[in-house]
């Protein structure tokens, strides 16, 4: 699994951080998403996919 984000699309809602905090974080200055772990372990796959689905801006891409 590979996780990428489009920071230009991000609206800083924070759903991803709440859903998968081991994988996503937000910048302090503006709340834009950052990927903490672009290749998360298999046990986090469901949470990462849920975070992508919950993203209101569709800024998260998950590739297997």
In the chain, where the domains are located: 2-63
Residue that is written with structure tokens 């903490």 in the block: 36
Q: Tens digits of per-residue pLDDT, 11-54?
A: 999 999 999 999 999 999 999 999 999 999 999 999 999 999 99
Question: CA–CA separation, 43 vs 49, rounded Å?
Answer: 11
Task: Give me the pLDDT at residue 35, please.
Answer: 98
Closest to 41 in 3D by CA, of 20, 17, 59: 20
Q: Which CATH class is domain 2-63?
A: alpha beta
């Amino acid at each position: 699994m590979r996780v990428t984000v489009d920071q230009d699309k991000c609206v800083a809602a924070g759903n991803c951080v709440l859903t998968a905090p081991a994988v996503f974080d937000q910048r302090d200055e503006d709340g834009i998403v950052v990927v903490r772990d672009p290749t998360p372990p298999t046990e986090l796959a469901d949470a990462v996919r849920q975070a992508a689905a919950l993203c209101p801006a569709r800024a998260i891409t998950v590739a297997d």
